[in-house]
Amino acid sequence: PRTTGEHKTKPTQASVRELRGLGLSPDVIVCRSEKPIDENVKQKISNFCHVPPEEVVCLHDVKSVYHVPIFLEEQGLVKFFHERLKLPVRKHSDEVRNRSKQWKNLIKKIDSLVQEVNIALVGKYTGLEDAYASVIKSLHHASMHCNLKLNLQFIAAADLEPETLRNDAVRYHEGWQKLCKSDGIIVPGGFGTNGIEGKISAIKWARESKKPFLGICLGFQLAVVEFARNVLGWEDAHTIETTGDKTKRNVVIEMEEHHTGIMGGTMRLGKKVTMFKTTDSVLWQLYGRKDFIEERHRHRYEVDKAYVPDMERAGLKFVGEDDSGERLEILELPDHPYFVAVQFHPEYISRPTEPSPPYLGLILASSGKLSSFLARGCHHRFLDCEITSEDEIETGEEESASLMNIQSVQNS
């Protein structure tokens, strides 16, 4: 703590003394503070806590959490663990150097971000943002990769429903105003009936207004329900999770083998293989033109394949399925800037230096950079190229054409 203009070491000394009384002797002490701690304070902590000075690590506030690994490495923490625990750390390998360089480039990029991208998250648990922690982090990873600062707007799905208009018109109009101002929309996973109609309304608006859209798990299932209702005209189309009635036109059904009638083991979990059925797919390109991918799943409902032929004839394309050919995994709408939904949860394996391809596609499309990104063959490799907007690409082509004309005149 910092009082009277200087850092105080007494609380740290007292804490260490209490630990020693319990038989715990510290190997290393990490001192958190708002401002950097000077060498005198570090030496004082070392003397009174019986820890060598090099094992007192000072960690003050930084601009973002991504600075912390580099900061700890500079403080000698990696070397300490290597020696104290006798870990086989490859200190000078090319892999380690490349990873360190990547991370430092990431930090530089984060510190210089100015331009924003506005994404609307339409969900059920928006009052508790931690419920979407993985989704939020994945959006941040993709935004950083695109040199953009994420401005995320949380919209409660129930606020978009007609019932809210009747009961609280202000909330209803505020929710739709946020949605309309967004550059892109994401509908993540969830369970239960609350907000289902609001999510379907948001998906319908994204499809009709050509707004970039990404659906995850339940978002994938509701995209199918919305298409069946509003394109095919099946007004009674729904998911059995909501209706609970097997006699209705449920385009989303329960997986029989994952619901045995008893508690426990009712979900399809873990990493599964998804095969691409066609190369005419945005996600196929974003995933690096692979024949198959492996992503993690967490669901107990699936799209009924019996309705797929009618939907595909109407324009909705199911471009990915599981390796058995029984379950549908990816859908896309070709005549749209970016209308993609997946049954799996790609956010679970997204990383700062390797963003999840579906999330990256959403951010690229929302910022007008998707076409140029794919045209240049960059895929989703981190920092392999600069990502430019469509306007910049067109300007560059015009400049190149002008230079070629000048060169031809000079040659003449």
- List the catalytic residues: 217, 345, 347
Comparing C-alpha atoms, which of 189, 247, 255 is closest to residue 223? 189
In what helix (H) or strand (E) does residue 2 lie, and over which residues does it extend? strand 2-3
What are the backbone angles phi and psi of residue 252, rounded to the nearest 5°? -120, 120
Q: What are phi and psi of 159, to 5 degrees?
A: -70, -20
Grouping H, G, I as helix, E, B as strand and the rest as coil, residue 120 is strand
Burial (CB count <10 Å: 0-12, 13-18, 19+), residue 78 = middle
Q: How far is CA 30 from CA 76, 92, 199, in A?
A: 12, 26, 46
Can you tell me the distance from the alpha carbon of 392 to that of 368, in angstroms, rounded to the nearest whole number? 10
Tokens 């500079």 belong to which residue? 74
The DSSP bridge partners found for residue 117 are 150
- Decide: helix, strand or coil at residue 367: coil
- Residue ranges of the alpha helices (H) in 314-356? none
* Cβ partners under 8 Å of residue 105, min gap 6: 383
B/e letters for 274-299, b = 16+ CB within 10 Å, e = fewer, are bbbbeeebbbbbbbeeeeebebebeb
